[in-house]
Amino acid sequence: MNARAEVTDFWAMVFNPSSVDRLLHVWTGAFLAGAFLVLSVNAYYILKNRHLAIAQPAFKIALGVATLFSLTQLFLGHRSAAGVSVNQPAKLAALEGHFDSTAVADMYILGWVDDETQKTTGLKIPGGLSFLLHGDFDTEVTGLNTFRPEDRPRQVNAIFQFYHLMVAIGLTLIALTLYASWQWFRGRLFDKRWLMYIFAWSVLLPQIANQVGWFTAEMGRQPWVVYGHLRTSDALSKAVSANQILFSLILFILVYATLLVLFLYLLNKKIKHGPDDDPTPETIGEGSKRDNPLFTH
Ligand code: HEM
């Protein structure tokens, strides 16, 4: 292959038809991770009745951001799924455990895929996937059986579960933020301690969604590294042995595990310490209430 063809292939791969959808979906996932971290830390302060002059307005700002991005993520997730149905149809079929091409495609809320018998069971909206992709409940959707066994992903149940967990978390984030926004509108946001408990733990949800989303995208694309062009088995380096890969993987795990422990330790210390320049660490002074336009609940 000449140099010009290699450069063209490189750009075609980087700016492939799914690049923009995926970039926006991952960015929004990162914004959600950030917004829910802020919500969590401030919910913790509110529960402990500490740093309220800062915690309550900060919670409200983060709630606005989280509500906006939770709703945006549903739209972007749908766009990603529509793109996958065109560019990676075998992956789309795996996401919903859809094997039979001649059938309309159901959308599962919860379910289980038996990889051996190729049967999917669970709570479903009949024709729901057909509707989401084609706007009517009766259109057929390409099933996994259209593809040769060597051209389709194997662990369909795992892909199905990761995908459905991501979507379930996405919908939970929407429900949670809309409910909290409604309480804010009614002036009752900080009255419900149980809601603050949920927000204190909610920091985990976008983190989990980002991980399982990534598993969905990567496992769903197998056996391809570049869908339809380059197989994972052909992308392996012949110069690097399996043991060398294992060794570097173990090193990476050790380095990142150490960084994670350090990060959690420092973050915890910082959260326990609280904002440096909070003038009223324990309670809200009337002055700070009056001066702060966001403090109106
Ligand atoms: C709300 C419903 C959601 C839908 C319908 C949805 C849909 C999808 C689809 C179809 C993919 C695969 C894209 C591909 O392979 O090209 C994907 C991947 C992904 N999703 Fe979601 N998603 C949703 C919610 C979320 C949420 C809430 C997060 C994180 C907070 C998230 C984070 C991710 C990530 C990180 C990936 C991997 C992207 C990549 O590696 O390119 N998703 N999502």
Q: What is the 3-state secondary structure (H, E, C) of the chain?
A: CCHHHHHHHHHHHHCCCCHHHHHHHHHHHHHHHHHHHHHHHHHHHHHHCCCHHHHHHHHHHHHHHHHHHHHHHHHHHHHHHHHHHHHCHHHHHHHCCCCCCCCECCEEEEEEEECCCCEEEEEEECCHHHHHHHCCCCCECCCHHHCCHHHCCCCHHHHHHHHHHHHHHHHHHHHHHHHHHHHHHCCCHHHCHHHHHHHHHCCHHHHHHHHHHHHHHHHHHCCEEECCCEEHHHCCCCCCCHHHHHHHHHHHHHHHHHHHHHHHHHHHHHHHHCCCCCCCCCCCCHHHHHHCCCCCC
Q: Is residue 273 part of a domain?
A: yes
The length of the chain is 297
- Domain of residue 62 covers 3-236+246-291
**111 token code pair:** 């379910």
Contact 129 CB / ligand 1 (< 6 Å): no
- Give residue 203 CA to ligand 1 midpoint distance, Å: 17
Contact 89 CB / ligand 1 (< 6 Å): no
- Give residue 14 CA to ligand 1 midpoint distance, Å: 18
Q: Is residue 241 part of a domain?
A: no
State the pLDDT at residue 277. Answer: 62
Distance CA 172, CA 11 (A): 37
State the pLDDT at residue 8. Answer: 67
Q: Whose CA is nearest to atom 32 of ligand 1?
A: 210
- Give residue 111 CA to ligand 1 midpoint distance, Å: 19
Q: Is residue 230 part of a domain?
A: yes
- Give residue 181 CA to ligand 1 midpoint distance, Å: 24
State the pLDDT at residue 286. Answer: 44
Q: What distance, in Å, lies between the first and last C-alpha atoms of the chain?
A: 66
pLDDT tens, residue by residue, 52-72: 999 999 999 999 999 999 999
State the pLDDT at residue 279. Answer: 55
- Give residue 69 CA to ligand 1 midpoint distance, Å: 13
Q: Is residue 219 part of a domain?
A: yes
From first to last of the 297 residues of the chain, give the pLDDT tens digit.
566 666 667 777 777 888 899 999 999 999 999 999 999 999 999 999 999 999 999 999 999 999 999 999 999 999 999 999 999 999 999 999 999 987 789 999 999 999 999 999 999 999 999 999 999 999 999 999 999 999 999 899 999 999 999 999 999 999 999 999 999 999 999 999 999 999 999 999 999 999 999 999 999 999 999 899 899 999 988 899 999 999 999 999 999 999 999 999 999 999 999 987 655 555 444 444 444 444 444
| Closest ligand 1 atom to 217 CA | 15
Tell me the β-bridge partners of 120. 113
State the pLDDT at residue 15. Answer: 79
Q: Is residue 297 part of a domain?
A: no
- Give residue 278 CA to ligand 1 midpoint distance, Å: 38
State the pLDDT at residue 10. Answer: 73
Q: Is residue 56 part of a domain?
A: yes
- Give residue 25 CA to ligand 1 midpoint distance, Å: 6
With the most atoms of ligand 1 within 8 angstroms of its CB, the residue from 14, 166, 216 to mutate is 166
Task: Kindly list the distances between the CA atom of residue 73 and the CA atoms of 31, 68, 70, 146, in Å, as whole numbers in the listed order.
Answer: 10, 9, 5, 31
- Give residue 202 CA to ligand 1 midpoint distance, Å: 18
Contact 90 CB / ligand 1 (< 6 Å): no
Contact 80 CB / ligand 1 (< 6 Å): yes
With the most atoms of ligand 1 within 8 angstroms of its CB, the residue from 15, 18, 25 to mutate is 25
- Give residue 296 CA to ligand 1 midpoint distance, Å: 36
Q: Whose CA is nearest to atom 27 of ligand 1?
A: 170
| Closest ligand 1 atom to 84 CA | 16
Distance CA 134, CA 128 (A): 10
State the pLDDT at residue 131. Answer: 95
Q: How many domains does the chain have?
A: 1
